A and B are shown apart, each in its own frame.
Chain A
Amino acid sequence: MTDAEPFEAFVRRYQDMVFATAVRLLGNVSDAEDAAQTVFLRAFERYSQLAGHPGAGGWLKTATRNVCFNHLSRYRARWKFFSELDASDGETYESTLESQVSRALGIEAADQHARLEQAIRNLPDHQRVPLVLFHFEELSYQQIADTMKVSLAKVKSDIHRGRETLRRLMTDDARR
């Protein structure tokens, strides 16, 4: 297969971006890996158009969001069920995260960051997804409302509640 080598370089270049978007939207490592794989397969199908195209990164971001939305709507019931169980099998989001962050930062800061990431993950879907889209993906409230097909007021209220939860955590951290 002649496209394999350049495509591998393409995946290497964008895998962190795709995975970061997916794991924050889905809040789960294995789902994020599934989503990233789906996104890269779609990219491979149209690799002749994407290779070297300056819009490839944007295309991947949009594709990742769409795959994550599909996943959340399709598996929402199942996801909620499993999220209520304590994840104790194999690699967890927290363990991956803490090991990554600890390498780059001091233990205390890494701990705070890991707790914050964990708090984002623990938010319910309807708060986490718009919050991630606003703060990490830099979509406007209106764009988020359009994307999620909900009212602007609901988006603002859900994001506000999510922020309140995160603020409580940050305040607790500051008191320690």
Chain B
Amino acid sequence: MHEDSDELETLVDRELKRLPAPRAPQTLLPRVMAAVEAWAQRPWYTRAWFAWPLAWRIASLAPVALFVYAVWAWRVPAPPPTVVAASDASRAVWAALIEPFLPYIVLVVLLMGAICAAIGLALNYVLLERAEQR
């Protein structure tokens, strides 16, 4: 049974390897190029962030950086006085539970961002390397 199976594998493999590879139809190339042209004409903001123009990538990072800096430097704008008066309890909770940990929270968020970026780069590298080995 096993020998028969091996024999069958060899026979089929030999016959299939003799088959000429199907060739792409002549319509494929113009079709792909038309799709690529249409894709390239898309506005930059509909593309992946990595494909944005450098200036816009930097510009999009600026608000995030500013926010992180503001939180880090305790420059979050103070709420209006009426809200302050009504939120003494929440301020107390903030001061007791969140405030002591804020630097660590910011640190964790930054670390997570860095780790995600590193994993993304590593995956990209590994996939291309694996493709190269095949």
**How many interface residues does B have (CB within 8 Å)?**
38
Interface of chain B, helix or strand or loop or mixed? helix
What is the CB-to-nearest-CB distance from B92 to chain A, in angstroms, rounded to a whole number? 51
In the complex, the number of residue pairs spanning A and B with C-beta atoms less than 8 Å apart equals 128
- Chain B positions within 8 Å of A59 at CB level: 127-128, 131-132
Interface bits A61-81 vs B (CB < 8 Å: 1, else 0): 110000000000000000000
Given A55-B131, A136-B16, A166-B15, the answer on whether A12 and B29 have CB atoms closer than 8 Å is: yes
Interface membership of B8, Cβ < 8 A: yes
Identify the closest chain B residue to A59 (Cβ): B131
C-alpha gap A54/B39 in the complex (Å): 25
A residues 1-37 in Cβ contact with B at 8 Å:
1, 3-4, 7-8, 11-12, 15-20, 23-24, 29, 33, 36-37
Q: Which listed residue (A53, A54, A136, A164) contacts B8, Cβ 8 A? A: A164
A136-176 CB mask vs B (1 if < 8 Å, else 0) is 10000000000000000000000010011011001000000
Q: Do A24 and B28 touch (CB < 8 A)?
A: no
Tell me which residues across on chain A come within 8 A of B28, comparing CB atoms.
Answer: 11, 15, 19, 33, 36-37
Chain A, interface SS category: helix
Q: With A45-B48, A100-B22, A100-B23 given, is the CB distance from A58 to B133 under 8 Å?
A: yes
A136 to B20, CA, bound (A): 11
Binds A, one of B30-38, B63-71, B99-107: B30-38
With A15-B29, A166-B15 in contact, do A36 and B24 touch (Cβ < 8 Å)?
yes
- Contacting B32 at CB < 8 Å: which of A23, A41, A54, A100? A41
B9 located at the interface, meaning its Cβ lies under 8 Å from any Cβ of chain A in the complex: yes
Whether the Cβ atoms of B132 and A53 lie closer than 8 Å is yes
For B8, give the chain A residue with the smallest CB separation: A163
- Whether B22 and A58, one on each chain, are in contact in the complex, defined by CB atoms closer than 8 angstroms, is no
B127 proximity list for chain A (CB < 8 A): 59, 62
Q: How far does the alpha carbon of A53 sit from the alpha carbon of B131 in the complex, in Å?
A: 10
Interface residues of A in 65-107 (CB under 8 A from B): 91, 96-97, 100-101, 104-105
Please give the distance in Å from B130's CB to the nearest CB on chain A: 7
Interface residues in chain B, defined as those with a beta carbon under 8 Å from any beta carbon in chain A: 5, 8-9, 11-13, 15-25, 27-29, 31-33, 35-37, 39-40, 48, 51, 127-134
20 A-B pairs in the complex with CB atoms less than 8 angstroms apart: A1-B40, A11-B33, A12-B29, A33-B28, A40-B32, A41-B32, A41-B39, A58-B130, A58-B131, A58-B133, A59-B132, A62-B127, A96-B25, A100-B23, A104-B20, A116-B15, A116-B16, A136-B16, A160-B8, A166-B16
Told that A37-B32, A55-B132, A62-B130 touch, could you supply 10 new A-B pairs with CB distance under 8 A?
Answer: A11-B33, A19-B24, A33-B31, A40-B36, A41-B35, A53-B128, A59-B127, A59-B132, A100-B22, A116-B19
- Kindly list the 5 A-B residue pairs having the minimum CB-CB distance in the complex, ordered from nearest: A55-B132, A58-B131, A59-B131, A19-B24, A58-B134
